[in-house]
Structure 1
Amino acid sequence: MRQAVGQTMRVNGRSIYVEESGRGPDWVVFEAGGGLGRTCWDPVLPLLADRGRLVAYDRAGFGRSGRTAVQLGIDDMAADLVAMVEAVVPGPFVLVAHSMGGLVARRAAEGLGPRLRGLLLLDPTPESAPVYDTFDQTAAKVDRAMGVTQALVRSRSLARMVSGNIRRVFPADTYAAMLAEDFVPAGIAQTRKEFRAVAAAIPQLRTEPPVLPTCPTVLLSASRPVKGRKQQHAAIAEHQRRWVQTLPDGRFEEVDSGHLIQAEQPEIVADRVGHLLDRTPGRHARSA
């Protein structure tokens, strides 16, 4: 099994679980996508172990973090990310975020200010894409399906069956941790909450989008669509590209991968993190 050591801490009245690894003067923070936690970064972390301190965590309600009785929104998750960084990271850092985590990261960037040395987004959710015009209806259908999944994963054999896409791309020890922590009734229940949070956030983000990050930003877009979703996939990629083009220092790059870029192309992710660290000098004392 994976040997990472973590700690539980309180942020905004909630309990979250944080793991630190690596060594060196630089700092990198990782924000997972919906339905995933700190373990999804396992393929990337060893590749960056010599570059600096690496911080991965489970959002409140997920993985080893404390359960939540209320429905948290994207803004709540962003506030938790900012509070965790303030408590753990002593200086500027690069932020890496996947999928829904891109919404969290973009909102958190408003509060992180100059501490953010760079932003790496892996196939992030672009709220402007047409596929999200009726996302409330899609979310309702997905929620009903996940309600069935939540009951099925009480059986370990069925949990392995419904998580086959994860098993195929992650290392065995990482998958074992995911199976034990995420593909359980409580984990699926939290995934349903996060999906609802995205549905609620889409119209809000369209009306009041997050302030554009001014730090160097790289967006890696997965080039391989899910079967039967080629047209939707192309529209999402185009809106990802359009968003990057609005940034003062942004770069769009297609990657030969499915949605889970950190598992399928960890070397590319680590390389782009390294480039962001090299581009901007780090200050290793705590910012005022």
Structure 2
Amino acid sequence: MDIETNGTRIHLTQQGSRAVALVLLHYYGGSSRTWDAVAGELSDRYRIVATDHRGWGDSGAPADGYRIADLAADAEGVIETLGLRRYVLVGHSMGGKVAQLIASRRPGGLEGLVLVAPSPPSPMLLSEEQRATLASAYGSRESIEFVIDHVLTARKLDAAYREQIVEDSLKGAPQAKAAWPNVAMREDITAAVASIDVPTIVVSGELDQVDRIATLETELLPRIPQAVMHIVPGAGHLLPLEAPAELARIIGRFVAALEAR
């Protein structure tokens, strides 16, 4: 379904109908279907809401509005429109930075925060050459496949997942592809995340080359004092596709503990 919010159209998928919802926010290059395998493991216990960020998947692609605050406002509009009264935010990579900003505002109904290989709240420091490389990484099938094999993953993906990543990465609007490395990645939300007051877990792939464990230990964990890290052995950055069953188990245990409080 599509929801009009914050001046644009946001596409989302839903599964399940339980009292607690998981709101899933995807990575730079992905879409709501990045979460399909994880959602399939959890939809019998929770309501699953997975969105396409503006400029990605089947959402609208306005000319501008790709800062973290804009992406957060889009997701907040979805949550409000759906009337979610109890929910857990689950954000992957870029979606993790968006989830941090939403959680920092202490919205009513938010019960927990799951940060999957998240981009840290501090600015990502890249050289101009690295920034240009990242901005063009999703320009062709060949460049995407190189990034999958040499940057994004540590485990071998099956052919269907590889093709899905290629399709989703190519489909992104040019302005969305440019905005993350040139704008949103450089934003500093460290002051905001100190306000996060819900239970938080950080799930990181042992071999993640994008948002490395060492980076998260210095740039994220000290700024969200209640956050606890879980490491998935032998996995890279694309945990929802590399290790969906393991990720679903970690999320399921975390949310079950929240419900038991």
Aligned residue type for 1:238: E
Give me the whole-angstrom Cα distance separating, in 2, the residues matched to 1:112 and 1:94: 12
Deviation per residue, 1:186-241 (Å, 9 max, x gap): 44542221222334413xx24x3334322221111221143xx9xx9353142244
How far apart are 1:280 and its partner, in Å? Answer: 3.0
> Is 2:170 the counterpart of 1:183?
yes
Partners of 2:135 and 2:181 within 8 A in 1? no
Aligned residue type for 2:242: E
Give me the whole-angstrom Cα distance separating, in 2, the residues matched to 1:146 and 1:225: 16
Deviation per residue, 1:46-97 (Å, 9 max, x gap): 1112112101011111111111211421111111111111112432111111
Q: 1:145 to 1:87 in 2, by over 3 A?
A: same
Deviation per residue, 1:257-277 (Å, 9 max, x gap): 211122222222212222233
- In structure 2, runs of 5+ residues without a counterpart are none
Partners of 1:94 and 1:273 within 8 A in 2? no
- In structure 1, runs of 5+ residues without a counterpart are 1-6, 283-288
Counterpart of 1:27 (choices 18, 21, 24) is 21
Aligned length: 255
- Looking at CA atoms only, which structure, 1 or 2, has the larger radius of gyration? 1
Partners of 1:120 and 1:272 within 8 A in 2? no
Aligned-residue identity in percent? 24
Counterpart of 1:198 (choices 177, 184, 187) is 184
Q: 1:61 to 1:265 in 2, by over 3 A?
A: same
Give me the whole-angstrom Cα distance separating, in 2, the residues matched to 1:235 and 1:163: 21
Partners of 2:26 and 2:92 within 8 A in 1? yes
Q: What is the SS of the residue equivalent to 2:37?
A: coil
- Aligned alpha-carbon RMSD (Å): 2.9
Larger mean CA deviation between 95-104 and 16-25 belongs to 16-25
Aligned residue type for 1:258: G
Partners of 1:27 and 1:89 within 8 A in 2? no
Q: What is the SS of the residue equivalent to 1:64?
A: coil
Give me the whole-angstrom Cα distance separating, in 2, the residues matched to 1:127 and 1:90: 26
- The 5 A counterparts of 1:114-263 are 114-128=108-122, 132=124, 135=125, 137-138=126-127, 140-146=128-134, 148-149=136-137, 152-153=139-140, 158=142, 161-162=145-146, 164-165=148-149, 172-184=159-171, 186-187=172-173, 189-202=175-188, 205-206=189-190, 208-226=191-209, 233=212, 235-239=214-218, 240-244=220-224, 246-247=225-226, 250-256=227-233, 257-263=235-241
Counterpart of 1:269 (choices 247, 256, 260) is 247
How far apart are 1:169 and its partner, in Å? Answer: 5.1
TM-score by length of structure 1 reads 0.76
Partners of 1:120 and 1:217 within 8 A in 2? yes
Q: 1:276 to 1:191 in 2, by over 3 A?
A: same
Give me the whole-angstrom Cα distance separating, in 2, the residues matched to 1:106 and 1:264: 23
Partners of 2:111 and 2:198 within 8 A in 1? yes
Q: What is the SS of the residue equivalent to 2:178?
A: helix
Give me the whole-angstrom Cα distance separating, in 1, the residues matched to 2:213 and 2:105: 32
Deviation per residue, 1:93-138 (Å, 9 max, x gap): 1111111212111111134524111111112122448xx4xx2x53
Aligned to 1:91: 85
How far apart are 1:147 and its partner, in Å? Answer: 5.7
Q: 1:236 to 1:53 in 2, by over 3 A?
A: same
